[in-house]
C-alpha cells in the first residue's frame, strides 16, 4: 500500500506505528502548494503480502 503525507511528526509517527516505512519525498506540484504545508510530501509504503483480513 502506498501513500503520501505531509512531513509532520504526528503523521509520520502514526503511519510508522501502523507498519508504513518512509522511502522518499515528492516535491509538490504548483496546484498542490496552497493545500499543503512545506515543499514536498513524504512517500510511505506498507507491505500487505502477509496481511490477513
The gap between the terminal CA atoms of the chain, to the nearest Å, is 15
Spatial neighbors of 31 by CB under 8 A, at least 6 apart, are none
| Whole-prediction pTM | 0.85
pLDDT at position 14: 98
pLDDT at position 9: 96
Distance CA 7, CA 36 (A): 10
pLDDT at position 50: 84
pLDDT digits 0-9 by tens, 1-53:
999 999 999 999 999 999 999 999 999 999 999 999 899 999 999 999 987 77
pLDDT at position 51: 76
Amino acid at each position: 500500500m502506498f501513500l503520501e503525507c505531509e512531513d509532520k511528526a504526528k503523521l509520520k509517527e502514526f503511519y510508522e506505528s501502523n507498519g508504513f516505512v518512509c522511502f522518499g519525498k515528492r516535491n509538490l506540484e504548483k496546484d498542490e502548494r496552497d493545500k499543503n504545508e512545506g515543499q514536498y510530501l513524504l512517500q510511505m509504503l506498507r507491505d500487505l503480502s502477509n496481511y490477513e483480513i
